Amino acid sequence: MILDAVSRWLEREVRPHVKKLDQADEYPESMVEQMKELGLFGATIPEQYGGLGLNATTYAKVIGKIASVWMSLTGVINSHLIMSACVQRIGTDAQKEKFLAKFASGEIRGGLALTEPDAGTDLQAIRTSAKKDGDSYVINGTKMWITNGIHGSCFALLVKTDSTIEPRHKGMSMFLVEKGPGFEASRKLKKLGYNGVDSAELVFDNFRVSGDNLLGGEEGKGLQTALSGLELGRINIAARGCGLAEAALMDSLRYAQQRETMGKPIAQHQAIQLKLGEMSTRVRAAKLLTYDAAKIYDSGQRCDMEAGMAKYFASEAAVTNSMEAMRIHGGNSYSKEYNVERYFRDAPLMCIGEGTNEIQLMIIAKQMLERHPV
């Protein structure tokens, strides 16, 4: 029922407006309000807090459907739900009661604030600091490339509470921070693709936050919290890759049957059939890997390797399928009248976001070595 409702909404309210909003890099205000009504901001939040309580497998299918129409919309809920997952996993009872219902309804929207100008994949290199001052903390620093940074109001913020301790991760903590004096989104960042959704720089200048907002109520848990949230984030990215790869395939299937050369549709040329065959196989394999990772996540088991495999393969499938769609569409692929140029711009983000694919391969290799020692 949820998948059917999302599909109807996408066809009725989203698809007709994607080109205009994407090309203008315009925030989809009305669509975000409709996503609230559909309950998507509470997709994975338990029903006891007003969420839909979807398992990761159903959530991945929802994300795949949305991404196949406009990938940017998935970013609006992904970062928000990673923040929610962090609260669900280690938040205190008081933090869950205060935030989760408002997260689920979309009354409070936001995301995850990890990346900094000089720290991306190496999260232990962050410099944003939180110094304890009585019952509160004073935060200074800058975060970069934060999804929902402009339109969001609350963020799960990774900071250094102790820059001297070794190993470094023991000095890292996470806070739930709401915008206020000393905390602003300084600018919206312009991007190659992933238009519409806001990616911003966040600046903290002597921003004061209550100690009650220290996630889990204890310092030193920040990195582990962030990494646990990224398991769901990587399943989301994998699902986005599936959606983009499938969209490129379906557009190519239609175009190849309509476009004619040498007296017949190009779908009848062997060279095009080879591309369509490979594209179809990538989509199916990407979905199977994604649903496998989601199933393990739902079981409560550690799934960083499986999520990494899914994220790596599905994102690369999206990039390759978008390029093959460009080749199948020929000169028309460079026209803004066709969707494939947008797929081509959007797909590379999937290989970078939520941990680069190179890092995913290292995670996979290390896990395999641990599981199969000689």
DSSP 327-357: HHHGGGGGSTTSTHHHHHHHHHHHHHTTS-H
What is the spatial distance between Cα 59 and Cα 37, in angstroms, rounded to a whole number? 16
Q: At CA 307, angle to CA 166 and CA 52, rounded to 5?
A: 105
How many C-beta atoms lie closer than 10 Å to residue 301's C-beta? 9
- Strands 129-133 and 136-147: what pairing? antiparallel
**Using CA of residue 127, residue 199, residue 9, residue 100, what is the dihedral sign?**
positive
DSSP 122-133: -GGG---EEEEE
DSSP annotation of 190 reads P
Q: Are 45 and 51 in contact (CB under 8 A)?
A: yes
Structure tokens at 146: 């934060």
Helix (H) or strand (E) holding 159: strand 154-160
Count CA atoms within 13 Å of residue 92 on its CB side. 15
Helix (H) or strand (E) holding 260: strand 260-261
What is the spatial distance between Cα 265 and Cα 347, in angstroms, rounded to a whole number? 28
Structure tokens at 351: 């290989």
What is the spatial distance between Cα 161 and Cα 218, in angstroms, rounded to a whole number? 11
Please confirm, yes or no, whether 316 is among the known catalytic residues: no
Measured in degrees and rounded to the nearest 5, phi and psi for residue 47 equal: -60, -30
- Between the alpha carbon of residue 111 and those of residues 76, 78, 131, 137, 219, the distances in Å are 8, 8, 22, 20, 20
Residue 290: closest CA among 45, 63, 80: 63
- Out of 116, 306, 316, 354, the active site residue is 354
Structure tokens at 25: 């890099």
Residues with a catalytic annotation lie at: 354
